[in-house]
Amino acid sequence: MDRKWLWFGAVIVLIIVYFVARSLTGDRVLVRAAQVSREPLSTTASTNGRVEPVQPIEIHAPIPAIVKAVYVQTGDTVPAGKLLMRLDDVDARAKLASADSAVKSAQASLEAVMQNGTLEQRQSVSAEIARDKLDRDQAQRDLDALVKLSSTGAAAPSEVAGARQRLATAEANLHAAEQSAQSRYSPAEVARAQSALQDAVANRQVAQQVLAQTSVHAPSAGTIYSLNVNATEFAEQGKLLLQMADLRHERVRAYFDEPEIGMLAVGQPILIKWDAKPGVVWHGHIERIPITVITYGTRNVGEVLIHIDDSDSQLLPDTNVTVTVTTSSESNALSIPREALRSENGKTYVFRIDGDELKKTFVVTGALNLTQVAILSGLKDGDWVATGTMTGVPLQEDMPIKRVR
Domain 57-87+221-244 has CATH 3.40.228.10: no
Fold of 45-55+247-329: Elongation Factor Tu (Ef-tu); domain 3 (2.40.30)
230-259 mean pLDDT: 94
| 371 touches 18 (CB < 8 A) | no
Residue 374 banded pLDDT, cuts 50, 70, 90: very high
Q: Does 124 score more than 70 pLDDT?
A: no
77-100 mean pLDDT: 92
- pLDDT digit string, tens, across residues 134-153: 888 787 887 777 877 788 87
16-27 mean pLDDT: 49
Is 186 or 166 the better-scoring residue by pLDDT?
166
Q: Does 24 score more than 60 pLDDT?
A: no
Q: Does 73 score more than 80 pLDDT?
A: yes
Alpha helices (H) in 183-257, listed in sequence order: 187-213
Distance between CA atoms of 239 and 70, rounded to whole angstroms? 15
What is the DSSP track for 279-311? Answer: T-EEEEEEEE--SS-EEETTEEEEEEEEEETT-
Distance between CA atoms of 212 and 28, rounded to whole angstroms? 89
Kindly state the percentage of the chain with pLDDT values over 70.
87
H or E element that contains 64: none
Kindly state the percentage of the chain with pLDDT values over 90.
55
Residue 170 banded pLDDT, cuts 50, 70, 90: confident
**CB-count burial class (<10 Å; 0-12, 13-18, 19+) for 46:** middle
CATH of 27-42+332-404, one of 2.60.120.10, 3.30.360.10, 2.40.420.20, 2.60.40.10: 2.40.420.20
pTM (global) more than 0.75? no
- The number of beta carbons lying within 10 Å of the beta carbon of residue 175 is 13
Taking the alpha carbons of 350, 356, 357, 361 in that order, is the dihedral positive or negative?
negative
Residue 22 banded pLDDT, cuts 50, 70, 90: very low
pLDDT of residue 17: 46
Residue 15 banded pLDDT, cuts 50, 70, 90: low
Is 79 or 312 the better-scoring residue by pLDDT?
79
Q: Residue 344: CA atoms inside 13 Å, Cβ hemisphere, count?
A: 8
Q: Does 338 score more than 60 pLDDT?
A: yes
| 379 touches 38 (CB < 8 A) | no
Distance between CA atoms of 359 and 150, rounded to whole angstroms? 150
Contacts of 55 (CB under 8 A, 6+ apart): 245, 246, 249
Give the CA-trace dihedral at 8, 14, 20, 22, to 10 degrees.
-130
Is 7 or 19 the better-scoring residue by pLDDT?
7
Q: Does 378 score more than 90 pLDDT?
A: yes
Alpha helices (H) in 31-118, listed in sequence order: 90-114
Q: Does 118 score more than 70 pLDDT?
A: no
| 84 touches 108 (CB < 8 A) | no
303-331 mean pLDDT: 91
Distance between CA atoms of 223 and 75, rounded to whole angstroms? 6
Taking CA atoms, 253 is separated from 52, 322, 327, in Å, by 7, 11, 18
Distance between CA atoms of 52 and 23, rounded to whole angstroms? 68
pLDDT of residue 233: 94
pLDDT of residue 270: 96
Taking the alpha carbons of 305, 311, 317, 321 in that order, is the dihedral positive or negative?
negative
pLDDT of residue 23: 47
Closest C-alpha to 79, from 212, 214, 223, 216? 223
Closest C-alpha to 224, from 203, 244, 194, 240? 244
**Average per-residue pLDDT for the chain:** 86
- pLDDT digit string, tens, across residues 223-243: 999 999 999 999 999 999 999
* SS3 at position 267: coil
